């Protein structure tokens, strides 16, 4: 009975634990030694390392330096699996307001936040905790709010009505990030030889009508941050994820086997290549393995906008990127396949993507 009651408390989230006086990390959150972060000893800061070439000035894509920026974008997608976008055109006041209303949501009483708790992954709004709270053997130091964003007119009435301005600013932010995503994808398609003179807008039309999921992540101060993580190593399932961060470090990406800490840049977006873009590019561009660490003093908030094809569409390598020298490397997949996979397995590391790879014995066109 006591164990069941304790587990029920964990299901309510880490902010609820702190609100009820937890000052020591519960055993449920303590990772095996091999999985714990070692932030101080292992990881240089991205902006101080050799990865500054992953910063993409979006405004220059519209000017005379476009070819140079496209080369940098191609390199970032191929070599790193991520890049940071500056001068992206989304108004600063929109960015500030989505951070403000998101922070206010997590500042609501637990009774108000818990109205949106659900285990239904198809729900237009879900409030929850950890990584996959129904399956995790060890919990992660994160609470989240997930919003299905398409079609916006259908899902908007289900989103939180408190704080009062949440829906309006979240909807504005969703529209702005969708537009930015489509413009970035135009550039990525051009780097793959699928845009410009050889323009084929079929895939872009699908993405325009595609899925969008907004995830607001909240990482409260952690009493023993060296024993846990905010999120485990994982890749994102879609084409691209546009991540807005506050000024608190926490995001790490893996590069050549080493965890690199991302230094936030004001009013920028950190963009991950997702599994679906890796599949679509037939392996030319690689999805980024990333994780989140937490700290004992400051809370951290991020807003992720995940974009892909419509849920019912198959994702497959572009036929134009398959030839004798580059045979097809991935099976077809869709969102239903992903949901079926995560209902039986935890989508950590890049194991879902690995399940979609064709072996050398059955690669074919």
What percent of the chain has pLDDT above 70? 89
Total domains present in the chain: 1
pLDDT above 90 for 296: yes
Task: Evaluate whether residue 220 is within a structural domain.
Answer: yes
Residue 202, token pair as written in the block: 């079929």
Q: What is the pLDDT of residue 72?
A: 94
Average pLDDT over residues 9-27: 89
Handedness of CA 105, 107, 111, 114 (dihedral sign): positive
CB 318 within 8 A of CB 192: yes
Task: State the DSSP H helix or E strand holding residue 234, giving kind and residue range, or none if neither.
Answer: strand 231-234
Q: How confident is the model at residue 365 (pLDDT cuts 50, 70, 90)?
A: very low
Residue 24 CA: distances (Å) to CA of 46, 65, 110, 224, 227: 31, 53, 20, 7, 11
Domain of 152 in residue numbering reads as 2-356
Which residue in 66, 44, 43, 216 sits closest to 128, CA to CA? 216
Residue 81 CA: distances (Å) to CA of 92, 288, 316, 354: 26, 5, 19, 16
CB 241 within 8 A of CB 274: yes
Q: How confident is the model at residue 350 (pLDDT cuts 50, 70, 90)?
A: confident
Handedness of CA 84, 90, 92, 96 (dihedral sign): negative
What percent of the chain has pLDDT above 90? 73
Q: Which one has a higher pLDDT value, 294 or 63?
A: 294
Q: What is the pLDDT of residue 352?
A: 87
pLDDT (tens digit per residue) in 98-145: 999 999 999 999 999 999 998 777 789 999 998 777 777 899 999 999
Q: How confident is the model at residue 4 (pLDDT cuts 50, 70, 90)?
A: very low
Q: What count of Cα atoms within 13 Å lies in the side-chain half-sphere of residue 53?
A: 14
pLDDT (tens digit per residue) in 236-283: 989 999 999 999 999 999 998 889 999 889 999 999 999 999 999 999
**Which letter does DSSP use for residue 78 in this model?**
I
Which residue in 213, 288, 292, 188 sits closest to 245, CA to CA? 292
Task: Evaluate whether residue 189 is within a structural domain.
Answer: yes
DSSP letters along 49-69, please?
TT-GGGEEEGGGGGSTTHHHH
- Looking at every residue in the chain, the average pLDDT score rounds to 89
Which residue in 292, 307, 311, 182 sits closest to 242, CA to CA? 307
pLDDT (tens digit per residue) in 154-192: 999 999 999 999 999 999 999 999 999 999 999 999 999
Q: How confident is the model at residue 53 (pLDDT cuts 50, 70, 90)?
A: low
Task: Evaluate whether residue 94 is within a structural domain.
Answer: yes
The pTM (predicted TM-score) of the whole model is 0.93
Which residue in 174, 178, 184 sits closest to 85, CA to CA? 184
Task: Evaluate whether residue 362 is within a structural domain.
Answer: no
Task: Evaluate whether residue 271 is within a structural domain.
Answer: yes
Residue 233, token pair as written in the block: 């190593």
Task: Evaluate whether residue 6 is within a structural domain.
Answer: yes
CATH number of the domain residue 41 falls in: 2.60.120.330
Which residue in 142, 146, 118 sits closest to 131, CA to CA? 142
Task: Evaluate whether residue 364 is within a structural domain.
Answer: no
pLDDT above 70 for 41: no
Q: What is the pLDDT of residue 38?
A: 81
Q: What count of Cα atoms within 13 Å lies in the side-chain half-sphere of residue 81?
A: 23
């Amino acid at each position: 009975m006591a164990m069941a009651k304790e587990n029920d408390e964990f299901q309510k989230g880490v902010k609820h634990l702190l609100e009820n006086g937890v000052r020591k990390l519960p055993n449920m959150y303590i990772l095996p030694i091999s999985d714990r972060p070692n932030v101080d000893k292992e990881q240089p800061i991205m902006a101080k390392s050799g990865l500054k070439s992953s910063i993409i000035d979006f405004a220059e894509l519209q000017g005379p330096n476009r070819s140079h920026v496209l080369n940098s974008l191609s390199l970032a997608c191929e070599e790193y699996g991520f890049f940071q976008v500056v001068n992206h055109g989304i108004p600063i006041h929109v960015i500030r307001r989505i951070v403000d209303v998101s922070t206010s949501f997590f500042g609501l009483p637990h009774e108000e936040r818990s109205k949106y708790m659900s285990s239904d992954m198809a729900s237009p709004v879900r409030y929850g905790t950890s990584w996959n709270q129904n399956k995790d053997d060890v919990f992660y130091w994160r609470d989240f709010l997930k919003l299905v964003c398409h079609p916006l007119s259908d899902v908007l009435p289900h989103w939180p009505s408190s704080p009062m301005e949440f829906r309006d600013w979240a909807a504005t932010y969703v529209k702005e990030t969708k537009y930015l995503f489509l413009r970035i994808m135009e550039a990525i398609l051009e780097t793959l030889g699928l845009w410009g003179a050889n323009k084929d807008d079929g895939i872009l039309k699908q993405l325009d009508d595609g899925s969008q999921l907004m995830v607001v992540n909240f990482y409260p101060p952690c009493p023993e941050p060296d024993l846990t993580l905010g999120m485990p190593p994982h890749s994102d399932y879609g084409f691209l994820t546009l991540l807005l961060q506050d000024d608190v470090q926490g995001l790490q990406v893996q590069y050549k086997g080493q965890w690199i800490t991302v230094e936030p840049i004001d009013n920028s977006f950190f963009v991950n290549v997702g599994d679906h873009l890796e599949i679509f590019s037939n392996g030319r561009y690689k999805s980024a393995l990333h994780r989140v660490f937490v700290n004992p003093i400051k809370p951290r908030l991020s807003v992720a906008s995940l974009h892909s094809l419509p849920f019912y569409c198959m994702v497959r390598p572009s036929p134009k990127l398959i030839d004798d020298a580059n045979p097809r490397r991935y099976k077809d997949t869709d969102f239903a396949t992903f949901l079926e996979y995560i209902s039986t397995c935890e989508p950590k590391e890049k194991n879902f993507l690995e399940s979609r790879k064709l072996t050398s014995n059955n690669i074919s066109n």
